[in-house]
Copies of this chain bind each other. A is one copy, B any other.
Amino acid sequence: MPNVVTIPPNGVALKTSRAHVEKNRENLLDAASKGFRRKGFEGVKVAELMQEVGLTHGGFYNYFKSKDELAASACDTSLKRQADCVRAMSGADTSVELVAYIERYLSQASRDAPENTCLFPSLSADVSRQGEAVRTVFSDGLRDYLDAMGDLTDTDRPKDGLPHNAVAVLSTLVGAMVLARAVNDRQLSDGILYAARQSLTRRYEK
């Protein structure tokens, strides 16, 4: 039964097949982004992915030219969302929001749910071994993210340069999470998160 969604994911019956296709594409990008973050680029299999969104593997190429193109698209979408999320924090008290962000970022919950959290710790190493398309998307996304974070961390920053504090903060966040995830030993992992959290929040509290 092609082109039929019995129980549409969003609870609303899909009117046209064009909307249906669009929805499938979104589901694919979403499932891919989650999969990539949890399992890495090579850990995501095209056939599995298609099954996840209720299709068979052959149809994949109606949506993307290749797995590489999917990777680039999925990264692009997720990176944009991330940067927007940071930008949305430029509220009243940036210090409070920043500290909250740091604590959420380096929480045990985030460590255990890479598929729902920041791309940088889970995918950066993979990206460095990917093709130019993915790397370019990633570079743009990172620039954008740092720019957004710079509004919180770098009060007087150079016009064209990088927000240095944002770089330092993100580096610590990413490094701590990367190490905490690699480690086998719960106590060590928790300790790494805790120490990094302390170091960062001490700098930005009040």
Is B195 in contact with A128, judged by CB distance below 8 angstroms? no
Contact B179 A40 (CB under 8 A): no
**Main secondary structure on chain A at its contact with chain B?**
helix
A128-B192 Cα distance, complex, nearest whole Å: 15
The reply to whether A167 and B183 contact each other, CB–CB distance below 8 Å, is no
By the criterion CB–CB under 8 Å, are B172 and A142 in contact?
no
Classify chain A's interface size.
Answer: 35 or more
Q: Encode A125-139 as 1/0 by CB contact (under 8 A) with B.
A: 111110010011011
Query: How many identical chains are in the complex?
Result: 2
User: Which chain A residues numbered 159 to 181 have a C-beta less than 8 Å away from chain B?
Assistant: 161-162, 164-165, 167-168, 170-176, 178-179, 181
Chain B residues, CB < 8 A from A200: 168
**Residue A185 lies at the interface, judged by CB distance under 8 Å to chain B:** yes
Q: What residues of chain B lie closer than 8 Å to A25, measured between beta carbons?
A: none
Contact A168 to B172, CB < 8 A, known contacts A128-B181, A178-B124, A182-B128: yes
The distance in angstroms between the C-alpha atoms of A178 and B125, with both chains bound, is 6
Q: Which residue of B lies closest to A135 (CB)?
A: B184
CA distance A106 to B206 in the complex (A): 30
- Bound-complex Cα distance A184 to B124 (A): 11
Measured between alpha carbons, how far is A115 from B149 in the docked complex, in Å? 32
7 closest residue pairs by CB, A with B: A175-B175, A174-B175, A168-B199, A171-B175, A167-B195, A135-B184, A125-B125
